[in-house]
Amino acid sequence: MITVVTQGTQWGVGHGGFHTQLTQVIAPGSSVTDFRFIYDCGTKNSQGPLRDCITQYVGRLEVDRVGALDLVILSHFDYDHVSGLPWLSKMLRRHNVKVGRVFAPAITPLESLLLIAHNDPPTRWYVNLLANPYGELSSLFPGAEVALLEPATAPDFADLDERPQSQGRSPHSVSLDATDMRHVWAAIPYAHQLAISGREDFVTLVRTALEIDIERLDFDELLRTIGGDRGTLRKIKLLSADMFGHGGVNANSVCLWAGPDAMPASGRVTHDHAWGSSQLLPDHSPAAWLGTGDAVLRDAGSAGFVNYYGRPRLDSVAYVGAPHHGSEHNSDEDFWRHFRRGTRVTTHAQGLYGHPHARTLHDIEAAGLVPVPVSQLHGPMRFTSTHTFDA
């Protein structure tokens, strides 16, 4: 028998996201295979609680004599999903923990400009990240292989041990070489893109209103032109809000499905939260976790996502993060009906922008799912899953 144990924590950091996960694959007569990853690391609330969570997590790695973190994956570059990266880098270096890989979405100069405008006034570090994400991430995590993911249309199944590519279909599967089962457990990213309708119209609008041809400038030239001009940034923010509504700054968001990629002989899942603990699933039920970042997963936006992962993987999800902190614009009841009844839906919000929205909470419950608030007020949610597989 092969045993797979997963421990995950959605930390309570306010309006943001910080998820950590450890999976251990235990096979008879072989050593334990560990896989650790972080999904998102940021908040729009006070940075202090997030830093405390990061310090606690990395300190535990040192206690456990862990010298490597396999993967850091960023759903997108909005400030509330990346603000903790400098502190994470500092703590990892202090405790001599290396990072193997970093995944983040590819980003265009136009998208970077919108992010700067919507996060005004931006910090110098944040501007540097948006100007050169590959270089800044490489600097934060020395020695890590950095891959910027383009939007994907179909999964491939290369082993995670292979070199990542700068494409949406990136190596992702964890394999156990001691057995014939190549996909006992997998971490599968999906780079979802919200098509910015009216992109050309927006470029024309900025050119007319502000006399800036953003399409002809590279990022460095954009920064020299408007980087320190807060008045111009505010105008661009207003123009983008009129043109794109809520979705303009989150054009590309990387989702992540992580869980058993084969049917177990038995399974058990428990979770611990301020609102209570419970055993969630019966035997023989695979239990996966799904992070959605700020992806727009309603109406036509969910079709590619559902086709990419497929019904069996979505049906195996036991815990899923609500897209965009529970915004009313990013999911609907039809989307939530792709998951089995009883699935826990974490909302990583603390009241900013009305998140989580009452309509979203209603849609979640109407589909038979259970919303779970995760914030500085409610605390983290931790889960443990144990699965056994026939060798």
Residue 93: CATH number of its domain: 3.60.15
Q: Specify the residue for token string 């990061």.
A: 54
Extract the tokens encoding 250: 């989150």
pLDDT at 173: 44
**For residue 178, is it within any domain?**
yes
For 167-213, the pLDDT digits (tens) are: 333 334 444 333 444 457 788 888 776 555 566 777 788 788 777 77
For 39-85, the pLDDT digits (tens) are: 999 998 889 999 999 999 999 998 888 889 999 999 999 999 999 99
Pairing of the two strands 2-10 and 381-389: antiparallel
pLDDT at 160: 37
CB 144 within 8 A of CB 137: yes
pLDDT at 169: 37
pLDDT at 234: 79
CB 181 within 8 A of CB 262: yes
Q: How far apart are the first and last CA of the chain?
A: 5
pLDDT at 176: 37
pLDDT at 121: 65
Pick from 258, 257, 280: which is nearest to 269 by CA? Answer: 280
**For residue 264, is it within any domain?**
yes
pLDDT at 174: 43
**For residue 286, is it within any domain?**
yes
Pick from 3, 12, 86, 76: which is nearest to 39 by CA? Answer: 76
CB 107 within 8 A of CB 252: yes
pLDDT at 193: 65
Task: Tell me the residue range of the domain where 54 lies.
Answer: 2-106+150-195+251-389
Contacts of 305 (CB under 8 A, 6+ apart): 190, 192, 255, 295, 297
What is d(CA 295, CA 334) in angstroms, rounded to the nearest whole number? Answer: 15
Tell me if the pTM is above 0.95: no
Residue spans of the chain under pLDDT 50: 153-182, 281-282
**For residue 138, is it within any domain?**
no
**For residue 320, is it within any domain?**
yes
Domain count within the chain: 1
The rounded radius of gyration (Å) of the Cα atoms in the chain is 21
Q: Specify the residue for token string 């992702």.
A: 172
What is d(CA 106, CA 193) in angstroms, rounded to the nearest whole number? Answer: 10
CB 1 within 8 A of CB 389: yes
What is d(CA 339, CA 116) in angstroms, rounded to the nearest whole number? Answer: 35
pLDDT at 246: 54
pLDDT at 274: 59
For residue 121, whether the previous peptide bond is cis, meaning omega lies within 30 degrees of 0, is: yes
**For residue 140, is it within any domain?**
no
**For residue 124, is it within any domain?**
no
**For residue 126, is it within any domain?**
no
